[in-house]
Structure 1
Amino acid sequence: MLPLSALLLGLLALALAWPVPAVLSRARWPRRDPVAALVCWQAIGLAGGLSIIGALLVHGLSPWGGSLPEAWWAWAQHWFTGELPAQPVRGDHWVAQTLAAVLALELLGVLALALVRTARTRARHRALLELLVHPVPGVEARVLDSPVPAAFCIPGARPLLVLSSGMVEEFAPDELAAVVAHERAHLGERHHLLLLPFVAWREALPVLPAADRAHDAVRDLVEMRADDVALRSLPRSAARRTLARAIVAAAEGGAPTGALAAGGGVLTARVTRLLDPPEPLPRWGRPLAVGAAVTLVLAPTLLLLAPALV
């Protein structure tokens, strides 16, 4: 059973490494429901990692037993007793075991490193900005003296929302409210945590086109989600035009590394979506997308455990 599981896990890993991310990144429905699309991207990342590591692990341990728990236990005993399994252990089995361990350690290590590095960068920027920004009456953010319109937030344990003085002076009150609502949406829904695994994925596997594709797609989707949340707090009459004008103007200012900015993502797609909103998904659309994501995560899990259940 284990060789079949390894083959199926390998095919699933191959699908999640290229065609599935390519299809999802080109699809138009994610713009209709960024939340459902974000759930799908998270599932692709998790299932992809489980599949490739699982395929290598299962193939490497296949001579030691008919199921993963049995093979794992026999493999562990081998290092104490020196007893080899009845089936021959070839070189490719040892290579697969080594690659599984290396890949697992690399993915977890890069994720931890990205977390620490991003946290340090944000802490450094926050410490510097706290020396430069100041409160302004009537403005729900700290203000940085700069003539260039800019708006961004530094997430973390002590989040910081920053507007430039140029934005405060030039923007109308409703536009300022739109920008602040957008940034508060990033902080409230902790969008930086949704992005972090894909930053790590791109750093761990830079040669994999899907890593770049997934990172860019998730970055754009969190911006669209923040736009949607911001619209709820604005007067409905001209909320979309107000927010569109604000994010276009804010794009000029940029943002520090590790920050989430109102002008981030693919600006043209966001503005088009605001001014010409797509039809929302049917009522069954989000449950279907979430169900597909759950199935995607369960698939490699079941392939790993199924031989032990038969």
Structure 2
Amino acid sequence: MNAAPVLVSYTAAVGFVVPRLLLRAAWPHGCPALAAAVWHALLVSFSIGAALAAYNLAVPAEHLEAGLLGLLHSCGLQFRGGEPDPHTADQLAVALPAALGTALVVSFALHVVRARRVRTRHREAVDLVGRRSARLGATVLPYGIPAAYCLPGHRPRIVISDAAVRELTPEQLGAVLEHERGHIAGRHHLVLAAVQAFHSVFRLLPLARHAREQTALLLEMVADDRALRRHSSEALATAMYEMAAARTPKDAFAAGGHMVVIRVKRVLGPRKPPHPALWSFVAVVAVAVPLLPLLAACPPGLN
């Protein structure tokens, strides 16, 4: 028995159906860190499922005609000797998953290197133009609009405009700085690089598009939650509103941004954490989902 039909169906469900169900769920905004983990688990599961599906399509099951080469032969593609070569099928079975894995790894590395290069150039410019504030633990830039962002990674920086220092209250300023520290401490730039790498490889896939958008929003919520542990929701929401119109670098994490409306509603709304049973169930699902393609490829009792 060949597991290819099951694996193809599974990857199709993960890539097209599951993202819509997750977008309609209400719990992710209540537990953003866990929700981000679920999105990443889906990316890993889809990648493993796609690799295994490619392998099973290339490898013959009981007869060579059941494999991908047999399918191509039946569609009119001629092989040397008139029939597909089993050795070619074996090579193709290894090459397809290897190519997929290599594409994902290379894409991730390119995103990390490119973003690091951009942040390094920006950090050098910030150090030249701005002034370091030991009290704030940030670099203050001359800018007429309240703004704040961080440059994570090696030698991280928190950057804040002098307008924000002047116009925000001490509690609002503290909430903004704590938000940016949350991005740096959580190494959120690597999390985003992973979803961006997946999106580069599977650009037309709904899972790739929604995972990139939702992960960016959920990471902002994770940083918001860190700020709310020490500061009031009113202070954080007001500060976000004040900085909503500010422009920030593309590869930086900003306290404002186009997601402010959703975040402000969440910060000011009733904050009821998910039930422990739901939290535990979702955590188990996040761990188990990447293993499902392996179970589909090697079902119990399969000889």
Contact preservation (8 Å) 1:126, 1:154: yes
1:252 pairs, out of 227, 245, 250, with: 245
Residues 33 and 222 in structure 2, CA contact (< 8 A), matched pair in contact too? yes
* 1:261 lines up with 2:292 in the alignment: no
* Map of 1:281 onto structure 2: 274
Aligned to 1:149: 146
What code does the residue aligned with 2:278 have? G
For 2:247, give the aligned amino acid: G
Q: Deviations over 1:268-294 (max 9, x none)?
A: 111111111342110112111110111
Does residue 291 (structure 1) correspond to residue 284 (structure 2)? The answer is yes
Contact 2:31 2:273 in 1 (8 A): yes
Superposed, 1:234-253 pairs within 5 Å as 234=231, 239-253=232-246
CA contact (8 A) 1:248 1:263 kept: yes
Query: Residue 300 of structure 1: which of 287, 293, 296 is its match?
Result: 293
Separation of aligned partners in 2, 1:308 and 1:161: 56
Displacement of 1:88? 6.9
> Once superposed, what is the RMSD of the aligned Cα atoms?
2.7
Q: Which amino acid aligns with 1:156?
A: G
1:61 Cα deviation from its structure 2 partner: 2.3
TM-score, normalization: structure 1? Answer: 0.84
* Cα distance in 1, alignment partners of residues 224 and 130 from structure 2: 25
The residue correspondences of 1:181-196 to structure 2 (distance < 5 A) are 181-196=178-193
Contact preservation (8 Å) 1:60, 1:95: yes
Asked if 1:139 is matched to 2:136, the reply is yes
In the alignment, residue 42 of structure 2 is paired with which amino acid?
I
CA distance in 1, matches of 2:142, 2:62: 66
Superposition TM-score, scaled by structure 2 size: 0.86
Matches within 5 A, 1:211-250: 211-234=208-231, 239-250=232-243
> Which residue of 20, 23, 36 maps to 2:21?
23
Which position in structure 1 is the counterpart of 2:81?
none
CA distance in structure 2 between the aligned counterparts of 1:240 and 1:37, rounded to whole angstroms: 21
SS in 2 for 1:206: coil
Secondary structure (helix, strand or coil) at the match of 1:284 reads: helix
Identity of aligned residues (%): 34
Matches within 5 A, 1:25-44: 25-44=23-42
Task: Find the residue that maps to 2:248 and give its secondary structure.
Answer: coil
Cross-structure match for 1:71: none
Using the alignment, how far apart are the partners of 1:64 and 1:193 within structure 2? 43
* Match in the other structure for 1:270: 263
1:106 match? 103
8 Å CA contact retained: 2:245, 2:257 = no
Partner of 1:124: 121
Please identify, of 97-106 and 48-57, the stretch whose mean Cα deviation from structure 2 is larger. Answer: 97-106
Residue ranges of structure 2 left out of the alignment (5+ in a row)? 64-83
What per-residue deviation string (whole Å, max 9, x for no partner) do you get for residues 27-53 of structure 1? Answer: 221011112111111100100111011
Deviations 1:58-113 (A, max 9, x none): 22123599xxxxxxxxxxxxxxxxxxxxx975998876665434333222221111
Query: 1:12: which partner in 2?
Result: 10
Do the aligned residues in 2 keep the contact of 1:121 with 1:257 (CA within 8 Å)?
Answer: no
Q: Aligned partner of 2:153: which letter?
A: G
Task: Tell me, in whole angstroms, the C-alpha distance in 1 between the residues paired with 2:212 and 2:166.
Answer: 34
Structure 1 unmatched runs, 5+: 66-86
Cα separation, partners in 2 of 1:137 and 1:51, compared to 1, 3 Å = closer
Aligned partners of 1:119 and 1:58: how far apart in 2? 38
Maintained 8 Å contact 1:136/1:142: yes
